[in-house]
Amino acid sequence: MSSHDISEDNLPHKQAHAHGALGVADKDNPFADPGLPPHEHRIQDIDEKASKRSERIVAALFTLSMLATIGFIAAFVALPVDKIVYIFPLGHISALNFSLGMTLGVALFAIGAGAVHWARTLMSDVEVAAERHPIEASPEVREQVFSDFRDGVTESGIGFGRRKLMRNTLLGALTLVPLSGVVLLRELGPLPGEKLRHTMWSKGKLLVNVNTDEPLRPSDIAVGSLTFAMPEGLHEHDHDFQKEIAKAALMLVRLEPNDIKDKRELEWSHEGIVAYSKICTHVGCPISLYEQQTHHVLCPCHQSTFDLADGARVIFGPAGHALPQLRIGVNDEGYLQALGDFEEPVGPAFWERGES
Amino acid sequence: MSNAASNESSRSRGKAPAGERVADWADGRLGIYSLAKANMRKIFPDHWSFMLGEVCMYSFIIIILTGVYLTLFFHPSMAEVEYHGSYVPLQGQLMSQAFESTVNISFEVRGGLLIRQIHHWAAVVFIAGMLVHMMRVFFTGAFRKPREVNWLFGFLLLVLGMFTGFTGYSLPDDLLSGTGIRFMQGAILSMPIVGTYLSMFLFGGEFPGTDIIARFYSIHILLLPGIMLGLMVAHLILVFYHKHTQFAGPGRTEKNVVGMPLLPVYMAKAGGFFFLVFGVIAAISAIATINPIWNIGPYRPDQVSTNAQPDWYMGFSEGLIRIMPGWEINFWGHTLVLGVFIPLMVFGLVLVAIAVYPFVESWVTGDKREHHILDRPRNAPTRTAFGAAWIALYFVLLVGGGNDLWATHFHLSINAITWFVRIGMFVVPVLVFIATKRICLGLQRRDREKVLHGRETGIIKRLPHGEFIEVHEPLSQEQLHTLTAHEQYKPAEIGPAVDENGVERKVKASEKLRAKLSHAYYGEGNQIEKPTLEEFKEIEAGHGHH
Amino acid sequence: MKKLSARRRHPLAAIVVLILALAATGGLYAAFAPAGEAQAEETAQSLAIDEGKKLYTVGCASCHGTGGQGTSDGPSLVGVGAAAVDFQVGTGRMPAQQPGAQVPDKPALYDQAQIDQLAAYVASLGAGPAVPTTEQYDPAGADVARGGQLYRTNCAQCHNFTGEGGALTHGKYAPDLSGVAPKHIYQAMLTGPQNMPSFPDTTMPEQEKKDIIAYLQAVNGEDSVSPGGLKIGGFGPVAEGLFGWVFGLGALVAVAIWVAARTAKAKKS
């Protein structure tokens, strides 16, 4: 690459000739650097009254800050934590939060404003130029560094093909030793196994209404209504409730059997009642924005839309496959029950999922 | 300060003042004098946009201060408890200790709510500040040699900041952030081969498990901020070491830096600015609520709310995931979840584009010199257009991430917005690129006119023969210098087709690409030749005859 | 076609006055008539149905058909019940003004007496949920926290955490619930207006509906508290991010400009 690298000619000139030396304007070159403009005085530099005024403003700001801090402490002591006040246009807000925040804000802001005003009006505003030095070291330094390095390497005995065995075993040891750390990470969690393929649902499990904790009957579910169910035996206080409901959450709707376009869906339904997983097949949001006139269900997270009248097929959005359907029927006592687990994994797709 | 004030009186007593003695003691052990000699009167140039980095640094400090306070009350545990605090609408609800303790910080700890809100508002401002700070550095070309490494440090701070923010947003274990974690788990599952394993290891089993909050906690309060603190210190050291860049102007060259000394002016301005930033954020936290988790409720995997979005800095990834078509490939019993995996990859690419740009540009220009004078964005039209296109892409994706709110607030169809974003993410950046470049070239032409013909004064003069002309006022030498100080590259050509020995050589594809890019950057029609001295003098001589 | 009804507002007003007068006369007559109370009630009921039918013919029949059987412009009203009518007409959704993805609410066109008559008529077409009594929907004494949990399970997915509303497909939306009367919220859950699914008493008993209404009043009523300050719409992180950029970073940039600005120079003399 280097032999055909971009030639230096393509680079702009080093501009040194175009920019006159500092402060020396080139008469013939109107583009040349005229140097730093002469310093102009501020009002405060020449008017004692103005500078006194600035000083008073700065002192007043610092005093304001002290008062605000006292106000902060007073508010902290005086206001109960649950006191609510109405402040337009903020609404009904916590008196303590508002007064603490405002006093703290003022106390801090006034210090800053005072310091900045001081710097802007009373400290010297003469602009100064400081020299820059190239970051790169000089060739001599560079040469010195390299020769030092060579010396060091030679003295260690590693370099230039000597003592290869020692060097290679060291490299081997250093490569292997982090493995201990990696191996320890194995304890972070179990292997996936078949965990993602099964839910709590099984043949004969009743469909329990999430709202009432009562098993559901077909007559409870009207056309156009939306019901959420969980498997019998799952309770909010169970220690693995979150894990189980994350897979078993069920959404029940009743369609006119004539409206059901998918043959399998009709077979797996009961009197038009269909049970679908509530967990989106995209990334697992509980999907339940059911539009009862269109039979579409929308995910609030990423807008995947499924047609519940057509096997919950994806009709819009990023989900890759239909919502899993749960096969349902009624038991001897007339309660809705599952006729097995979902036949495919619920929730987001994953590498081992495969086609169902 | 008081020590300095008492200098005179103590010196008369023939003994070094106390302050000096303390300084001597420290110097004998730490060598502070040589450090102070180099830095105490260090020069910093004045420009408001140079303070954007300070906004970030100060909000980061505020976040650390308030974060430490919050750890004193927060319990990073997912153990289920029943709530019996003072907030009635949650009375008796089951929730994790993480959620309960966050509600308690808000309602039982005096000032706890304020600190929580300062912590969260400062995080929002911190990352917004980093993005704007990076825009400033990008559009002025401040990332060029010798500052590429510092650009990378800044880039890492941005990325780590995003993830620190995401883990922090997740800690309260509320319904909104739980949905966010669920999304993350789905995204991890989509990764080919390793997805399910990573998910099981991260969550300690199946989602949501009982470990994720505690694990996020140590990542959020220790691992990521620890790295960030180190990077920030390194970033600052490099800023000091390189000395600050400056805009072109009279007296400002590549070999100097013009401004005011650290002591006292910058000490006061920068120190004062910390208090200003803190004050503004504290006031905002008094006025506006952020993440009111008591309204959102505790997380349950079968519950969700609409308007489920991450904090704004993750919004573009949310947009990517929302607009992706649901592609999924099944083969040999395996599933490739492209609908999730592609956005995950594009998310990385959008960010990596930031990191690699300085190296791409320096490869195209072949420029190995140091640059300390900043470019005006118009004088680097292609770079500016690239930056604007990136911002356009980012913004279009943000729109996609909030498509539901756009739908309800502008009475649009959410499907139409999604389609707009699907097409717009490809089209809008291109349009913005072209428009930005045009605007830059237009501005360059205007600068050229201004240099050659002077400033339009708006004064109309009638000449004796009846013609009306607008009086143009010639520019001062200072203005002329400022407008012509920028450098202009010549486009690179492909080297000779034969080598030194007259043998035909193979022109590498990379070489061709570079020549093409170089033409796109600096070729004809991609920059306006700045006026030359000859042109200027010719016109001036012409005017003389008037 | 639906605009017809809107244009007929003025003639309608005249009819309204007439009907009110008639109803008043009829009511007075019934009150003073020597017949038994039950009979009077029945008479009043059939009178209301008659009056409702008149209103229906003028304002509703063009879309819903002369006998409520439905047309291509409007669904059948047989069996929707009085509660649905009370909700649709009471929130101003019906009569609809123009076709669109969704019929929005607006100031009601009919007064409560007329709505009751319309409801009586539609209820007479087929059995459906009756207009709930105050006792049914009054949230006083309900369990707010339980309501919150039910709300998050059943309602938040469309209406947002605190009932600010949200988007549905193709321009449809779940409306903002702030300021909606408890009766109308109850009826909406009961009847499932437009694309909203219903939550009948069989799956969500009356008490749970009350709990939900109580929760909404607590978090989205006129006196709802927002301890932390301005709610910023209650839309979550998108609104917060916008606020942070505009007022947070915006204010800080303004401050930075002041800090770095040159101080006024003394005038050159």
Q: Which residues of C touch B307 (CB under 8 A)?
A: 160-161, 164, 166, 235-236, 238
**Interface residue B523 vs chain A (CB under 8 A):** no
Q: Which residues of B touch C162 (CB under 8 A)?
A: 295
Taking CA atoms, B248 is separated from B251, B386, B486, in Å, by 9, 23, 8
Among C174, C226, C248, the residue with its CB nearest the CB of B121 is C248
Average pLDDT over residues B201-214: 95
Contact B404, C166 (CB under 8 A): yes
Q: Which residues of A touch B271 (CB under 8 A)?
A: 115
CB atoms closer than 10 angstroms to residue A6: 23
Q: How far apart are CA A227 and CA A209, in angstroms?
A: 7
pTM of the model: 0.91
Average pLDDT over residues B420-443: 96
Predicted confidence band of residue B95 (pLDDT cuts 50, 70, 90): very high
Among B292, B404, B413, the residue with its CB nearest the CB of C170 is B413
Which of these, B324, B389, B318, lies nearest to B353 by C-alpha position?
B389
Q: How far apart are CA C175 and CA C216, in angstroms?
A: 14
* Interface contact flag, A242 B325, Cβ < 8 Å: no
Scanning every residue of chain B, which has its alpha carbon at the shortest distance from the alpha carbon of A348?
Answer: B186
Q: How far apart are CA B293 and CA B99, in angstroms?
A: 8
Q: Which residues of B touch C248 (CB under 8 A)?
A: 121, 124-125, 128, 280-281, 284
Average pLDDT over residues B345-353: 95
Average pLDDT over residues B436-441: 96
**Coil vs helix vs strand at A260:** coil
Q: What is the DSSP letter of B496?
A: P
**Interface residue B117 vs chain C (CB under 8 A):** yes
Q: Give the range with max mean pLDDT: B369-383, C101-115, C127-141.
A: B369-383
* Interface contact flag, C200 A225, Cβ < 8 Å: yes
Q: What is the pLDDT of residue C23?
A: 67
Beta bridge partners of A85: A93
Task: Specify the DSSP element, H or E, that contains B257.
Answer: strand B256-261
Scanning every residue of chain A, which has its alpha carbon at the shortest distance from the alpha carbon of C174?
Answer: A289
Q: How far apart are CA B308 and CA B306, in angstroms?
A: 5
* Interface contact flag, B209 A196, Cβ < 8 Å: no
Candidates B49, B115, B124, B399: best to mutate against C (most CBs of C within 10 A) is B124
* Interface contact flag, C168 B93, Cβ < 8 Å: no
DSSP string across chain C: -THHHHHTHHHHHHHHHHHHHHHHHHHHHHHHSSS-HHHHHHHHHHHHHHHHHHHHHHHTHHHH-TTS--BTTB---TT-HHHHHHHHHHTT-SS--S-SSSPPP-S-SS-HHHHHHHHHHHHHHS--PPPPPHHHH--TT--HHHHHHHHHHHTHHHH-TTS--EE-GGG-EEPP-TT--HHHHHHHHHH--TTSPB--TTTS-HHHHHHHHHHHHHHHSTT-B-TTSB-GGG--HHHHHHHIIIIIIHHHHHHHHHHHSPPPBPPP-
Share of chain B above pLDDT 90, in %: 79
Choice among B177-181, B340-344, B370-374, B472-476 with the minimum mean pLDDT: B472-476
Q: How far apart are CA A342 and CA A347, in angstroms?
A: 11
Which of these, B391, B380, B288, B361, lies nearest to B517 by C-alpha position?
B361
Among C148, C173, C260, the residue with its CB nearest the CB of B297 is C148
Among B202, B257, B282, the residue with its CB nearest the CB of A130 is B257
pLDDT at B5 over 50: no
Among A6, A96, A105, the residue with its CB nearest the CB of B283 is A105
pLDDT at B223 over 90: yes
* Interface contact flag, A289 C228, Cβ < 8 Å: no
Q: Which residues of A touch C215 (CB under 8 A)?
A: none
Q: What is the pLDDT of residue B498?
A: 77
Scanning every residue of chain A, which has its alpha carbon at the shortest distance from the alpha carbon of C256?
Answer: A116
Judge if the upstream peptide bond of residue A257 is cis by omega within 30 degrees of 0.
Answer: no
Average pLDDT over residues B253-275: 93
Predicted confidence band of residue B306 (pLDDT cuts 50, 70, 90): very high
Could you tell me which chains touch chain C, where touching means 3 or more CB pairs under 8 A? Answer: A, B
Residue A350 backbone dihedrals phi, psi, to 5 degrees: -150, 165
* Interface contact flag, B290 C228, Cβ < 8 Å: yes
What mean pLDDT is reported for chain B? 92
**Coil vs helix vs strand at B132:** helix
**Strand-strand pairing, B373-374 and B246-247:** parallel
Tokens of A216: 């559901």
Q: How far apart are CA B312 and CA C244, in angstroms?
A: 9
Q: Is the ipTM of this complex over 0.85?
A: yes
Choice among A306-315, B82-91, C26-35, C229-238 with the minimum mean pLDDT: C26-35
* Interface contact flag, C258 A116, Cβ < 8 Å: yes
Scanning every residue of chain C, which has its alpha carbon at the shortest distance from the alpha carbon of A43?
Answer: C266
Residues 154-183 of B with CB under 8 A from A: 179, 182-183
* Interface contact flag, B117 A317, Cβ < 8 Å: no
Task: Specify the DSSP element, H or E, that contains A313.
Answer: strand A313-316
Choice among A221-225, A274-278, B133-137, C35-39 with the minimum mean pLDDT: C35-39
Among C148, C173, C230, the residue with its CB nearest the CB of B289 is C230
Predicted confidence band of residue B277 (pLDDT cuts 50, 70, 90): very high
* A–B interface: beta-carbon pairs under 8 A: 389
Instruction: Give the gap in angstroms from C-alpha A266 to the nearest C-alpha of chain C.
Output: 21
Tokens of A355: 């086609």
* Interface contact flag, C158 A300, Cβ < 8 Å: yes
Task: Specify the DSSP element, H or E, that contains B149.
Answer: helix B148-170
Average pLDDT over residues B517-526: 90
* Interface contact flag, C197 A84, Cβ < 8 Å: no
Q: Which position has the higher pLDDT, C45 or A25? A: C45
Q: What is the pLDDT of residue B68?
A: 97
Among A23, A76, A101, the residue with its CB nearest the CB of B283 is A101
Q: What is the pLDDT of residue C239?
A: 94
pLDDT at B285 over 80: yes
pLDDT at B314 over 50: yes
Q: What is the pLDDT of residue B546?
A: 43
Residue by residue, pLDDT tens for chain A (356 residues) are 333 455 555 666 544 444 434 444 456 788 888 889 888 899 888 999 999 999 999 999 999 999 999 999 999 999 999 999 999 999 999 999 999 999 999 999 999 999 999 999 999 988 899 999 999 999 999 999 999 999 988 888 776 667 788 888 999 999 999 999 999 999 999 999 999 999 999 999 999 999 999 999 999 999 999 999 999 999 999 999 999 999 999 999 999 999 999 999 999 999 999 999 999 999 999 988 999 999 999 999 999 999 999 999 999 999 999 999 999 999 999 999 999 999 999 999 999 998 75
**Domain definitions of chain A by residue range:** 43-188, 195-235+244-353
Q: What is the pLDDT of residue B232?
A: 97
Q: Which residues of B touch A228 (CB under 8 A)?
A: 302
**Distance from first CA to last CA of chain C, Å, rounded?**
78
**Coil vs helix vs strand at A129:** strand
Q: What is the pLDDT of residue C4?
A: 43
Q: What is the pLDDT of residue A4?
A: 46
**Strand-strand pairing, A296-298 and A305-307:** antiparallel
Q: Which residues of A touch B80 (CB under 8 A)?
A: 237, 239, 241
pLDDT at B222 over 90: yes
Q: Which position has the higher pLDDT, B5 or A273? A: A273
Taking CA atoms, A16 is separated from A13, A32, B369, B473, C109, in Å, by 8, 10, 13, 28, 81
Predicted confidence band of residue B472 (pLDDT cuts 50, 70, 90): confident
Sign of torsion over alpha carbons C38, C44, C47, C53: negative
Contact B310, C237 (CB under 8 A): yes
Q: Which residues of A touch B539 (CB under 8 A)?
A: none
* Interface contact flag, A195 B255, Cβ < 8 Å: no
pLDDT at C186 over 80: yes
pLDDT at C266 over 80: no
Q: What is the DSSP letter of B48?
A: G
Candidates C161, C162, C177, C245: best to mutate against B (most CBs of B within 10 A) is C161
Contact B216, B171 (CB under 8 A): yes
Candidates C76, C162, C168: best to mutate against A (most CBs of A within 10 A) is C168
**Distance from first CA to last CA of chain B, Å, rounded?**
63
Q: Report the half-sphere exposure of C49 (CA within 13 A, side-chain side).
A: 12
Could you tell me which chains touch chain B, where touching means 3 or more CB pairs under 8 A? Answer: A, C
Q: How far apart are CA C182 and CA C209, in angstroms?
A: 10
pLDDT at B486 over 50: yes
Q: Which CATH number fits domain A195-235+244-353: 3.40.50.2300, 3.30.70.100, 2.60.40.10, 2.102.10.10?
A: 2.102.10.10
Residue A325 backbone dihedrals phi, psi, to 5 degrees: -100, 145
Judge if the upstream peptide bond of residue B491 is cis by omega within 30 degrees of 0.
Answer: no
Three-state helix/strand/coil letters over B399-413: HHHCHHHHHHHHCCC
Q: How far apart are CA C252 and CA C269, in angstroms?
A: 36
Taking CA atoms, B184 is separated from B163, B174, B178, B524, C250, in Å, by 12, 15, 10, 48, 31
Which of these, A301, B89, B178, A348, lies nearest to C157 by C-alpha position?
A301
pLDDT at C2 over 90: no
Choice among A23-27, B24-28, B66-70, B247-251 with the minimum mean pLDDT: A23-27
pLDDT at B97 over 80: yes
Q: What is the pLDDT of residue C28?
A: 56
Scanning every residue of chain A, which has its alpha carbon at the shortest distance from the alpha carbon of B328?
Answer: A320
Predicted confidence band of residue B236 (pLDDT cuts 50, 70, 90): very high
Instruction: Give the gap in angstroms from C-alpha C57 to the nearest C-alpha of chain A.
Output: 25
Instruction: Give the gap in angstroms from C-alpha A44 to the nearest C-alpha of chain C.
Output: 8
Q: What is the pLDDT of residue C17?
A: 57
* Interface contact flag, A224 C197, Cβ < 8 Å: yes
Residues 255-314 of B with CB under 8 A from A: 255-261, 264-265, 268-269, 271-283, 285-289, 299-308
Q: How far apart are CA A227 and CA A220, in angstroms?
A: 9
Choice among B148-157, B203-212, B488-497 with the minimum mean pLDDT: B488-497
